[in-house]
Chains A and B, each alone.
Chain A
């Protein structure tokens, strides 16, 4: 600890006023605040502050996603770590560049986006595509709107959508991998073979009315995107986030609830080629998207009522896109659709709330008049 502090103390003059690397000050600050918890004193009342800060907020999200990420390494090999490294490196550099140009601080939002992005991609995807995707996601999905806290779209999803529409064969067909098995899986391998002929994901199999075993879907020994195969680990992480009040339970309840209800209804109508609702819930990226991307506080509605409407929209859209359109995977587009609708939902919820406020103020006035 002391030697690290010393390194920062030695380097600090370079980044101060008149130092040679003054423009890169935000990078120095980000690194220093990463290692040493920033504790400037409060000025005036309230004299104390809650110990939670944004770094820890994002850190909790990373803890929740980590099991799914590690499962991805187990199933699909060390290549996953390379994808994560590329994602952080490219995306992080872009974040830093924008912060330097804007003369602002580097914010922590990217810590989560950088981890989520590789987890929603096919495991064999070439690393240059990962880089291009994350660059698009961060620049267009986040920085163009003003940076952390102001983005309209989830940057990871926007990057994936860009790759999906720009390289459809690569994203939908060419780079799936069979999951590793046994006690070691692919942990000592860089990657398994990608073979468009023999590897099918649960969602593509469903087109031929083959529904993968629920047990396999739970544990994750199916092919699919890097982080979304193990339903159990995703759900565990998601519940952890809800229990620590980092994610809001309403979005999750609304999404999974509306998805289940609509699914049960359609299953009732056409059981043969629709498949059991359990399969629907566990297959594909629904759980990952619901727990970790729909709950992103910045891109989801701010109001509670808005969150219910948002979740219902995502749940229904996912089901409909998956089953009534040519796309196999619906969650990505459904959440992006929800992101677009979120501000409107907030505006409606806000107006209704203001009507309630006016009633409260009127009530006070009535009391005054009675006296």
Chain B
């Protein structure tokens, strides 16, 4: 599948294939808020003894998905606000799934086998790995999707790499795909692989060849070609509210396999710690709630790097309040904050810089590193219509045009510009030499258009009622 635009920012700190099991902590501080979820409905109380895999809390806004306890321990609710702390940690054997113990929530006697499987996926912490390809939100576990997209690529710097997780678990992965197939009624599963054709890719294509509804698709490994929204649009099944497209990554498929084959919950998370401020970027096997202070102490040798929960395009800076890894964490990216301003910095040849334009010596040297700090790298200026944003954008919209129309408050012009196509990859903001925050502006334009539309619908409804 071919995409236009896109750009790979090659910064140092790509996590290696090493997978390290973190030493067992003494306590776990499990945040109740993650990127998409807020586990506000607690099911345990202070000083409860919980089993490994037991439900600690649920998110009432998101189909009551559970937050599972990664270890056996004692609950403490008032140590850190917004966290469930587990003390006296012990690793225990996980108990297989017993649907009757969860009956309290929804009567499942009426469901068929498919319904039971979905219930089990949800209850054993696997549903967290699913997202709606177009919106990124949690899809309804009981709805029938029009297709499933499984991406093996993680192109945003830096989150857990799919190829690393696949390497030793190919059979589990294939079995997971079979399980997914059993949830569908012949709707296709699209398996997205990079074009490079590594050994793993060949092995996978061999293994899935027999399955009619698993379609192997290759994409160039350029960010944001791993975006489910982009892939879903290009593949075909289009967004209609009753027939969403589900998206999963490799970790999700492995979790599906673990759940439906062994009836075991998934509480282990594979995360990365990467970025230029890390001396040994690699993968880590951790659990939700792992204390961040001890984790970061081992990684940060000196200075105060910016710790981003996620990658550089979508991740948020870790707040001081967060004490442990959240259950949706896929990686921590450590970036260097800007130091003292360099003398005549903008004039320097830039042997250690690479740019989307080719205006640095580093662009001519393929092996040159790209030393980027979390600096704006320039002052905010008016748009000079250089067209970099347009060229790097993977969908056919014109960010500079939207910027100009927003500046003039010309909402009718924005309507024609296709703001709803934006997948919010953030590349336009990254490349802009005038340092304009284009992504925020496009999202703002989209919001204003929606407001306008709902206002118009209101007046239409009012007029109809009269």
Chain A positions near chain B (C-beta within 8 angstroms) = 1, 4, 33-42, 44-57, 59-60, 105, 107-109, 147-150, 243-246, 248, 297-298, 300, 302, 304, 350, 353-354, 356-357, 360-361, 364-365, 367-368, 371
Contacts and interface: CB of A to CB of B under 8 A. Distances in A.
B420 to A, nearest CB: 8
Contact of B417 (A52, A107, A298, A354): A354
A360 B374 CA distance: 37
Contact of A46 (B233, B339, B359, B429): B429
B238 A364 contact: yes
Given A54-B384, A298-B385, A368-B243, 7 more contacts: A35-B343, A36-B343, A45-B312, A52-B377, A147-B382, A243-B358, A297-B387
A39 B146 CA distance: 47
Secondary structure of the B contact surface, majority rule: loop
Contact of B433 (A57, A244, A360, A361): A57
Contacts of B421: 357, 360
Nearest to A49: B377
A35 B374 contact: no
B77 interface: no
A362 B344 CA distance: 51
Contacts of A36: 341-345
Given A48-B335, A245-B358, A368 B240 contact: yes
Contact of B381 (A51, A148, A357): A148
B316 A45 contact: yes
B397 to A, nearest CB: 8
Interface string B256-300: 000000000000000000000000000000000000000000000
B379 A53 contact: yes
A91 to B, nearest CB: 18
A304 B418 CA distance: 18
A28 B353 CA distance: 28
B401 interface: yes
B104 interface: no
A353 B417 CA distance: 9
Contacts of A33: 379
B373 A39 contact: yes
Contact of A302 (B233, B376, B400): B400
Given A245-B358, A365-B238, A54 B385 contact: no
A350 B417 CA distance: 9
Contacts of B354: 51
A25 B345 CA distance: 21
Interface in B337-363: 337-339, 341-347, 350, 353-360
Contacts of A360: 396, 418, 421
A29 to B, nearest CB: 8
A46 B384 contact: no
B372 interface: yes
A337 to B, nearest CB: 19
Nearest to B392: A50
Given A54-B378, A298-B384, A37 B341 contact: yes
Given A36-B345, A39-B341, A357-B396, A50 B382 contact: no
A258 B211 CA distance: 56
B430 A53 contact: no
A48 B430 contact: yes
A250 B460 CA distance: 47
A41 B338 contact: yes
B155 interface: no
Contacts of B240: 368, 371
Contacts of B356: 50, 52, 245
Contacts of A55: 346, 378
B62 interface: no
Contacts of A297: 384-387
Q: Which 5 pairs across A and B sit closest by C-beta, in order of nearness?
A: A53-B378, A37-B345, A149-B382, A36-B341, A39-B375
Contacts of A42: 374-376
Contacts of B417: 354, 357
A54 B433 contact: yes
Contacts of B435: 49, 53
Contacts of A47: 306, 308, 312, 315, 317, 333, 335, 374
Contacts of B434: 54, 149
Contacts of A147: 382
Contacts of B439: 46
